[in-house]
Structure formats: structure tokens, C-alpha cells
């Protein structure tokens, strides 16, 4: 018997039950973030091997480590804009193809130039994955569990973070030739992305986009049946096409892009340079030992942060979680920076450094991904998310490129004090510019259904 939903496509989605379709969509989206995390962060370990083989300068190391982040900036902009114009399904999966191509080319690189080109192609795919996976998941989700569902997609990054050190440790401990080892490390990034290309291309178009941007309500209602129990008949209002201007949402965009920029400087700078950071506190540790320490930090501190965030984000608030995370990770950096002698106490340093990772994941690393998929109207949602992710990767590039230089010139303590300043700025900007989406529908948050063009104020 048909299920009759009186109201809009959005209302049907906002009250929909979690289903097998949502699991399939989360898997298809999450594997992209597993790949992104693996590909972006494995380069830190691979570079330790490449720099000796190719006799790289500090500038070349910085550029190879950060070139994907530059490309991510462009990929996020391009794919985000295309998805608002052409539809989410039209472009979803293409970015995964680029990640596969970039990873395989990286594995067969024969000089610095070819490796840079390969990592750039990879970064284009990674950048495109941010707005598409986040927005598709948020637009499929219901109101009460939207934050958890989008966070679980992003939490696959945790598995990618630990997969990299695991692969590196296995290859190095097995005595694999160094030239072959780094090629395998980079090439393996093609596998997870390749597994979901077909699945992504088969996902239905976002019903919200079809109904509110294209006006194809009947098609949207039909697509709803693909992840609902029984046929759904929608009584959709006649004139409900959304034509919001991005310029009307400048404060939210400043908040989502600015806080993500500030966070990514700290996060990517620290994470890609973790082997160098560990050299400061354990100068006699070899590559296997330092990689093992990195692995333990991620497993003990970072991974729980992702999944605790997923379990609590819809209860404690998306904005509040971001502010809490910025405050606590900044506090860890401040303590290490203000007391330089901590670097001589290995267990204490690792604990504080690890806690900064916990509160990064249980905080802005998760929420900077979730919030841009919530606070903008459907017709500009992937564009705004793409802008936010793209601007963020400028911060990531700055962090990845300059962190090694700062470590060498300023020392670890002063470098982390600077990172504290970025964290504090992120906390303040979150408070000023971002509304609290907890418990609200996407339409309510962005005021899609009101006559006022004014964005909702920050809570």
C-alpha cells in the first residue's frame, strides 16, 4: 500500500527512517574519504624514502608534500559548482576516477616533475570528493540524525590515517626495497577509490536538488521510492523553486571557509610533518620506530575522536562541538609551546600531542566538513561547500609547506604556539559567524522557505 506524505519532498526526507539505502550511500561516500586520508598523509612517510633516493631539497619536499592540497583547492571549487548546476549524480564518481589515476601515476613516477603532476591530478579528485560526498549524504539524511550520518562518512578518514602507517610499517619491516616501498605506498591509494566508482554512478539524484532546483517533483518522488518502503506520493507546493544568492550568505561562508582554513593549517601542518616532529623528541628513532609512534598516536587518540563525535554531534550541537574542539586542541598546543621542556619528556609530549589529535577529530576536523553541508540553500550548497573546502586547502597547503621550514627556523615550541593562535582564531570565528544546525532541517537552517533573503544569525 502506498505511503502518502502530505507536504514537500524535503519534509519526506526530513522524517524518513534510516534504511539500507543510507548504509549503501554512506559506504560509497566514506570510501572516498578513506582514500583521501590515505593518499594525502601517506606522502609524509613516502617522502622520507624519496628524499634520500632523489636527493630532494627542502623546497622540493615541501612542494611534493603540498601539491595535492593546491589541486584540492581547484577540485573543490570546480566540482562543487558543477554539482549545483548539473546535479550531484551527474558528476559523482568522476572525482573517484581522478583519485585512481593520480595514485597509479604517482606509483610509476620517474622524476620530481612527473610526481608533482600525478599528485596534482590526485588532489583534483580529492577536492571534488569533499562537497559531493558531504552534500549528498546531508541531502539524503533526516533531521534528527543528519550530523551523525555525515560524520560517519567523514570518519572513514580515521581508517585512512591508520592504514597509511600500517602499510608503511609492513613494507619496511619486511625489508622491501625502499624504491619499491614508496611506490607501493602511493599506488595502493588507487584501490579503495576504484571499488566505489560504479556504486557512486548508480546512486539516485538528490531528491532535494531535483525538486527545489530543477522543479522535477515527479522524478524526485520516484527517486525517493528507491530508498523508502513502498511508493511515496508527494503533495508538493507549486512554487517552491529555490534561487538563493550566495552573496546573501556571506557571513556563513566566512565562517565555514575561514574556520576550515584555520583548522587545516594546524592539522595538515602537524600531520604531514609528524615524522619531523617526532625527530625533535626522539632524534635517535629510525623510520620504523617513528612510523610506529605515529600509528599509535592515531589509533589511541585520533580514531576514538571521530567515532565519539559521530555518536554525540546531534546531541551536543554541531557548532558547540567545533568550538570545544578548537579550544581543547589549542590548549594542548599552548601547553607544549609555553613549556619547552616538555619535549624532553617523551610520554608527556606524546600524551599532549595525542590529545590535540583527539580534540581535532572530536571537533573541527569533523564539523568543518559537516557544517557547510547544512547551512546553505540547496541551489548553492555544493558551491558553498566547495568554496569552503577549497579555501581550507589553502590553509592546508600553507601548513604542509611551511611547517617543516618553521620547525627548522623557530623550533618545535614556537611552531606549536603559532598553531595555538590559529586554533584560537578558529574558536572566535565559529562563535561569530556560524549558526547552530542541531535539530533543524536543512530548509529551516538556510531559510529556503521564507520570503526573507537574510541569512539566519549565528546562535
| Structural domains present in the chain | 3-446 (1.20.1250.20)
Q: How far apart are CA 225 and CA 235, in angstroms?
A: 15
Q: What is the pLDDT of residue 71?
A: 93
Sites in the chain below the pLDDT cut of 70 = 1-7, 226-240, 272, 449-459
Q: What is the reported pLDDT for 334?
A: 96
Distance CA 248, CA 252 (A): 9
Residue 279: what pLDDT? 73
The C-alpha cell of 456 is what?
539566519
- pLDDT for residue 329: 95
What is the model's pLDDT at position 456? 41
The closest of 271, 199, 213 to 39, measured between CA atoms, is: 271
Identify the CA nearest to 381 among candidates 259, 252, 290: 252
Q: Which residue has the cell 506524505?
A: 5
Tallying the residues shown for the chain, one arrives at 459
Cell triple for 77: 571549487
At 285-337, the pLDDT tens digits run 777 787 788 788 888 998 999 999 999 999 999 999 999 999 999 999 999 99
Task: Identify the pLDDT of residue 96.
Answer: 92
Displacement of CA 195 from its chain's centroid (Å) = 19
Instruction: Give the pLDDT score at 314.
Output: 94
Q: How far apart are CA 160 and CA 153, in angstroms?
A: 12
Q: How far are the Cα atoms of 207, 292, 329, 448 from residue 213, in angstroms, in the given order?
A: 10, 49, 40, 11
Query: For the chain, what is the HEC assignment?
Result: CCEEECCCHHHHHHCCCCCHHHHHHHHHHHHHHHHHHHHHHHHHHHHHHHHHHHCCCHHHHHHHHHHHHHHHHHHHHHHHHHHHHHCHHHHCCHHHHHHHHHHHHHHCCCCHHHHHHHHHHHHHHHHHHHHHHHHHHHHHCCCCCHHHHHHHHHHHHHHHHHHHHHHHHHHHHCCCCHHHHHHHHHHCCHHHHHHHHHHHHHCCCCHHHHHHHHCCHHHHHHHHHHHCCCCEEECCCCCCCCCCCHHHHHHHHHHHHHHHHHHHHHHHHHHHCHHHHHHHHCCCCCHHHHHHHHHHHHHHHHHHHHHHHHHHHHHHCHHHHHHHHHHHHHHHHHHHHHCHHHHHCHHHHHHHHHHHHHHHHCCHHHHHHHHHHCCCCCCCHHHHHHHHHHHHHHHHHHHHHHHHHHHHHHCHHHHHHHHHHHHHHHHHHHHHHCCCCCCCCHHHHHCCCCCCCCCCCCC
Q: Model confidence over 96-129: pLDDT tens digits? A: 999 999 999 999 999 999 999 999 999 999 999 9
209 close to 131: Cβ distance less than 8 angstroms: no
Say what the pLDDT of residue 309 is: 95
pLDDT at 458: 44
Q: Which residues pair with 234 in a beta bridge?
A: 5
Q: How far apart are alpha carbons 360 and 315 in whole angstroms?
A: 18
The b-or-e profile of 137-152 (16+ CB within 10 A means b, else e) is: bbbbbbbebbbbbbbb
Nearest Cα residue to 64 out of 130, 109, 3, 33:
109
Amino acid at each position: 500500500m502506498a505511503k502518502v506524505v502530505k507536504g514537500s519532498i524535503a519534509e519526506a526526507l526530513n522524517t524518513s527512517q534510516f534504511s539500507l539505502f543510507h548504509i549503501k550511500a554512506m559506504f560509497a561516500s566514506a570510501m572516498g574519504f578513506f582514500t583521501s586520508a590515505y593518499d594525502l598523509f601517506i606522502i609524509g612517510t613516502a617522502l622520507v624514502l624519496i628524499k634520500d633516493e632523489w636527493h630532494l631539497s627542502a623546497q622540493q619536499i615541501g612542494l611534493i608534500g603540498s601539491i595535492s592540497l593546491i589541486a584540492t583547492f581547484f577540485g573543490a571549487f570546480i566540482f562543487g559548482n558543477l554539482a549545483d548546476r548539473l546535479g550531484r549524480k551527474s558528476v559523482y564518481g568522476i572525482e573517484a576516477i581522478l583519485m585512481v589515476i593520480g595514485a597509479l601515476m604517482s606509483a610509476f613516477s620517474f622524476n620530481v616533475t612527473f610526481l608533482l603532476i600525478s599528485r596534482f591530478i590526485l588532489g583534483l579528485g580529492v577536492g571534488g570528493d569533499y562537497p559531493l560526498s558531504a552534500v549528498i549524504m546531508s541531502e539524503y539524511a533526516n533531521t534528527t540524525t543528519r550530523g551523525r550520518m555525515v560524520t560517519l562518512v567523514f570518519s572513514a578518514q580515521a581508517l585512512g590515517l591508520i592504514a597509511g602507517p600500517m602499510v608503511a610499517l609492513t613494507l619496511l619491516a619486511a625489508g622491501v626495497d625502499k624504491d619499491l616501498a614508496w611506490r607501493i605506498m602511493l599506488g595502493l591509494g588507487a584501490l579503495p577509490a576504484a571499488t566505489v566508482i560504479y556504486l557512486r554512478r548508480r546512486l539516485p539524484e538528490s531528491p532535494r536538488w531535483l525538486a527545489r532546483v530543477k522543479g522535477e517533483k515527479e522524478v524526485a518522488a520516484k527517486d525517493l521510492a528507491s530508498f523508502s518502503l513502498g511508493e511515496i506520493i508527494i503533495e508538493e507546493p507549486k512554487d517552491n523553486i529555490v534561487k538563493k544568492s550566495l552573496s546573501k550568505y556571506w557571513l556563513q561562508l566566512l565562517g565555514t571557509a575561514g574556520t576550515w582554513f584555520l583548522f587545516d593549517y594546524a592539522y595538515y601542518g602537524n600531520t604531514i610533518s609528524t615524522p619531523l616532529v617526532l625527530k625533535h623528541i626522539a632524534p635517535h628513532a629510525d623510520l620504523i620506530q617513528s612510523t610506529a609512534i605515529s600509528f599509535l598516536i592515531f589509533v589511541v587518540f585520533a580514531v576514538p575522536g571521530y567515532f565519539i563525535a559521530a555518536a554525540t554531534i546531534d546531541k551536543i550541537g554541531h557548532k558547540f562541538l567545533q568550538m570545544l574542539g578548537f579550544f581543547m586542541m589549542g590548549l594542548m598546543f599552548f601547553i607544549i609551546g609555553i613549556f619547552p621542556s616538555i619535549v624532553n619528556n617523551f610520554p608527556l609530549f606524546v600524551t599532549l600531542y595525542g590529545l590535540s589529535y583527539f580534540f581535532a577529530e572530536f571537533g573541527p576536523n569533523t564539523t568543518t566538513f559537516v557544517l557547510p553541508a547544512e547551512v546553505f540553500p540547496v541551489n548553492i550548497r555544493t558551491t558553498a561547500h566547495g568554496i569552503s573546502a577549497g579555501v581550507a586547502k589553502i590553509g592546508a597547503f600553507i601548513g604542509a609547506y611551511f611547517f617543516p621550514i618553521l620547525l627548522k627556523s623557530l623550533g618545535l615550541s614556537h611552531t606549536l604556539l603559532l598553531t595555538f593562535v590559529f586554533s584560537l582564531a578558529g574558536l572566535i570565528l565559529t562563535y561569530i559567524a556560524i549558526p547552530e544546525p542541531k535539530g533543524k532541517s536543512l530548509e529551516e537552517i538556510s531559510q529556503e522557505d521564507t520570503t526573507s533573503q537574510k541569512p539566519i544569525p549565528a546562535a
